[in-house]
Amino acid sequence: MPGMAASPKIFEFLAFPDPIVAHWLSWIPPYENETLKSYATRMCERIEHENPILIGVSFGGILVQEMAQLIPTEKVIIISSVKAREELPLHMRMAQKTNLHKLLPLQWVENIESLALFAFGKAIKRRLSLYRRYLSERDAAYLKWSIDQIVNWHPTAPTSNLIHIHGNEDSVFPIKSIQDPVLKIPGEHAMIITKKNWFNQHLPNIILGSEVQENLHSNVSNKIPQS
């Protein structure tokens, strides 16, 4: 599941060996005032296999955790995302109390530079023309709904079999707020694109369970090559 506003094209550089079969999910229009649980229920209808491994990036990581509360999963992998409300940066947590995010002008969500900055982090400023192609979901109602779901997210229960991969330079969800267990690697919020070599080397092993998963509770970043 890609991040907010992004299309499955963000996964275009990933190569999965047999026996892994990847299925790309994409955002669907939310109903008016739809809850995240309701949205997750509708997204689960697009899952074709039993006991899947769900992978989500950024807001997509939040969504797959909600989906995992509704269907049996073998594993849930979140990338550049959060697994608890306390991991959201302070300004997002405060937004729930102030509702200032609901006052964002339409021009903000329709501005490609502002949207790219929110979706991919500060690093995109150097390569904005490249990142434009990944931002396919620009409907204002969807974007405002997404932001509202992020700042108001209260997970009802921890997600079992969760693996959290996070960049140490993430500017959207800063690493200082991310709690263990987490696999920290060098990278920014858009590292699913910029660190494709790392993901192609390690993500298949993490999916299949042959990576040193038991060490996720310790300093895994020192145990796994960070190329």
- Structural domain range at position 175: 8-222
Residue 191 in domain? yes
Q: Exposure pattern of 119-141 as b/e (b: 16+ CB <10 Å)?
A: bbbebbeeeeeebeebbebeeee
The span from the CA of 118 to the CA of 5, in Å, is 10
Looking at residue 96, what is its pLDDT?
A: 65
Residue 1 in domain? no
Kindly indicate the confidence band of residue 82, based on its pLDDT and cuts at 50, 70 and 90.
very high
- Give the H/E segment covering residue 56: strand 53-57
Among residues 63, 72, 21, the alpha carbon closest in space to that of 43 is found at: 63
The 3-state DSSP class for residue 34 equals: coil
Kindly indicate the confidence band of residue 120, based on its pLDDT and cuts at 50, 70 and 90.
confident
Which two tokens mark 193? 């694109």
How large is the average pLDDT for residues 138-157?
90
Residue 63 in domain? yes
User: Residues 186-226: pLDDT tens digits?
Assistant: 999 999 999 999 999 999 999 998 653 444 434 343 333 33
Q: Tell me what percent of the residues of the chain surpass a pLDDT of 70.
A: 81
Does residue 72 have a pLDDT over 60? yes
Residue 227 in domain? no
Residue 3 in domain? no
Q: pTM for the whole thing?
A: 0.86
CATH of the domain at 193: 3.40.50.1820
Residue 123 in domain? yes
Which two tokens mark 146? 């997404």
The 3-state DSSP class for residue 3 equals: coil
How large is the average pLDDT for residues 39-53?
96
Does residue 104 have a pLDDT over 70? no
Domain count, the chain: 1
Does residue 71 have a pLDDT over 80? yes
Rg of the chain over CA atoms, in angstroms? Answer: 17
Residue 207 in domain? yes
Does residue 31 have a pLDDT over 70? yes
Among residues 126, 114, 143, the alpha carbon closest in space to that of 194 is found at: 126
User: Residues 3-22: pLDDT tens digits?
Assistant: 999 999 999 999 999 889 99
- Give the H/E segment covering residue 142: helix 140-151
